[in-house]
Amino acid sequence: MKNVLKLFAFVAVFLFASCGGTEPKDLAEEAAGYLQDKDFKSFVGLMTDENDPEANKDQNMFIGLIQDKMSKEIDRNEGISSYKIGKQVIDEEKGKASVEVEFTYGNGSSDKKKFKFEKKEGKWYLTM
Protein backbone atom coordinates (compact mmCIF):
# COMPACT_ATOMS: atom_id res chain seq x y z
CA MET A 1 0.00 0.00 0.00
CA LYS A 2 2.85 2.42 0.78
CA ASN A 3 4.30 1.86 -2.69
CA VAL A 4 0.95 2.66 -4.28
CA LEU A 5 0.74 5.90 -2.31
CA LYS A 6 4.31 6.83 -3.24
CA LEU A 7 3.56 6.14 -6.91
CA PHE A 8 0.38 8.22 -6.72
CA ALA A 9 2.26 11.10 -5.09
CA PHE A 10 4.98 10.96 -7.75
CA VAL A 11 2.43 10.95 -10.59
CA ALA A 12 0.50 13.83 -8.99
CA VAL A 13 3.66 15.96 -8.66
CA PHE A 14 4.61 15.21 -12.26
CA LEU A 15 1.15 16.14 -13.55
CA PHE A 16 1.07 19.41 -11.63
CA ALA A 17 4.56 20.31 -12.82
CA SER A 18 3.68 19.64 -16.44
CA CYS A 19 0.58 21.85 -16.29
CA GLY A 20 2.69 24.99 -16.34
CA GLY A 21 3.99 27.17 -13.60
CA THR A 22 2.38 29.89 -11.63
CA GLU A 23 5.31 32.31 -11.77
CA PRO A 24 5.66 34.97 -14.47
CA LYS A 25 8.86 33.34 -15.75
CA ASP A 26 6.96 30.10 -16.38
CA LEU A 27 4.18 31.97 -18.15
CA ALA A 28 6.73 33.84 -20.28
CA GLU A 29 8.14 30.46 -21.33
CA GLU A 30 4.64 29.35 -22.36
CA ALA A 31 3.95 32.63 -24.17
CA ALA A 32 7.22 32.51 -26.12
CA GLY A 33 6.51 28.92 -27.14
CA TYR A 34 3.05 29.89 -28.36
CA LEU A 35 4.52 32.71 -30.44
CA GLN A 36 7.15 30.36 -31.89
CA ASP A 37 4.34 27.98 -32.89
CA LYS A 38 2.16 30.91 -34.04
CA ASP A 39 -0.54 29.66 -31.66
CA PHE A 40 -2.09 33.06 -31.04
CA LYS A 41 -5.25 31.66 -29.43
CA SER A 42 -3.22 30.02 -26.65
CA PHE A 43 -1.06 33.16 -26.34
CA VAL A 44 -4.16 35.29 -25.75
CA GLY A 45 -5.47 32.64 -23.36
CA LEU A 46 -2.66 33.59 -20.98
CA MET A 47 -4.27 37.03 -20.68
CA THR A 48 -7.63 35.97 -19.28
CA ASP A 49 -9.23 33.63 -16.80
CA GLU A 50 -10.85 30.87 -18.84
CA ASN A 51 -13.80 30.86 -16.40
CA ASP A 52 -14.56 34.59 -16.86
CA PRO A 53 -17.22 34.95 -19.59
CA GLU A 54 -16.82 38.75 -19.76
CA ALA A 55 -13.09 38.54 -20.46
CA ASN A 56 -13.55 35.74 -22.96
CA LYS A 57 -16.06 37.74 -25.05
CA ASP A 58 -13.27 39.97 -26.33
CA GLN A 59 -10.80 37.13 -26.80
CA ASN A 60 -11.49 36.63 -30.53
CA MET A 61 -10.86 40.32 -31.19
CA PHE A 62 -7.53 40.14 -29.32
CA ILE A 63 -6.55 37.00 -31.20
CA GLY A 64 -7.14 38.77 -34.52
CA LEU A 65 -5.19 41.88 -33.50
CA ILE A 66 -2.23 39.95 -32.12
CA GLN A 67 -2.18 37.53 -35.01
CA ASP A 68 -2.14 40.40 -37.50
CA LYS A 69 0.68 42.27 -35.73
CA MET A 70 2.87 39.39 -34.56
CA SER A 71 2.44 37.13 -37.56
CA LYS A 72 3.80 39.80 -39.89
CA GLU A 73 6.87 40.36 -37.70
CA ILE A 74 7.51 36.64 -37.29
CA ASP A 75 7.10 35.94 -41.02
CA ARG A 76 9.26 38.92 -42.01
CA ASN A 77 12.06 37.45 -39.89
CA GLU A 78 11.57 33.91 -41.26
CA GLY A 79 10.02 32.50 -38.10
CA ILE A 80 11.25 32.17 -34.53
CA SER A 81 14.05 29.62 -34.40
CA SER A 82 14.62 29.87 -30.63
CA TYR A 83 14.04 31.98 -27.56
CA LYS A 84 15.74 32.48 -24.22
CA ILE A 85 14.00 33.51 -21.02
CA GLY A 86 15.90 36.25 -19.23
CA LYS A 87 15.52 38.40 -16.15
CA GLN A 88 12.33 38.30 -14.11
CA VAL A 89 11.30 41.28 -11.98
CA ILE A 90 8.37 40.91 -9.57
CA ASP A 91 6.73 43.66 -7.53
CA GLU A 92 4.44 41.67 -5.22
CA GLU A 93 3.15 44.85 -3.56
CA LYS A 94 1.78 46.20 -6.84
CA GLY A 95 0.98 42.76 -8.28
CA LYS A 96 3.05 43.40 -11.38
CA ALA A 97 5.95 41.60 -13.01
CA SER A 98 8.03 41.58 -16.17
CA VAL A 99 10.18 38.98 -17.87
CA GLU A 100 12.73 39.62 -20.61
CA VAL A 101 12.67 37.22 -23.55
CA GLU A 102 15.23 37.16 -26.34
CA PHE A 103 13.93 35.79 -29.64
CA THR A 104 16.25 34.52 -32.37
CA TYR A 105 14.71 34.44 -35.81
CA GLY A 106 15.21 32.23 -38.82
CA ASN A 107 17.05 35.00 -40.67
CA GLY A 108 19.67 35.17 -37.89
CA SER A 109 18.47 38.40 -36.30
CA SER A 110 17.45 38.63 -32.66
CA ASP A 111 15.17 40.85 -30.64
CA LYS A 112 14.49 41.35 -26.93
CA LYS A 113 10.93 41.75 -25.75
CA LYS A 114 9.60 42.39 -22.27
CA PHE A 115 6.50 40.44 -21.31
CA LYS A 116 4.44 42.15 -18.60
CA PHE A 117 2.23 40.39 -16.09
CA GLU A 118 -0.41 41.37 -13.56
CA LYS A 119 -1.59 39.37 -10.59
CA LYS A 120 -5.36 39.09 -10.12
CA GLU A 121 -6.91 37.08 -7.31
CA GLY A 122 -3.62 35.31 -6.66
CA LYS A 123 -2.99 34.30 -10.28
CA TRP A 124 -0.58 35.85 -12.82
CA TYR A 125 -1.85 36.94 -16.26
CA LEU A 126 -0.02 38.25 -19.31
CA THR A 127 -0.87 41.89 -20.07
CA MET A 128 -0.30 44.13 -23.06
Residues 27-85: tens digit of each pLDDT: 999 999 999 999 999 999 998 877 776 766 778 888 988 899 999 999 999 999 999 99
Name the CATH topology of 23-127. Answer: Nuclear Transport Factor 2; Chain: A, (3.10.450)
In sequence order, the 6+-apart residues with CB closer than 8 A to the CB of 116 are: 96, 97, 98, 126, 127, 128
Note the pTM of the prediction, 2 decimals. 0.78
CB count within 10 Å of CB 55 equals 15
Q: Where are the domains of the chain?
A: 23-127
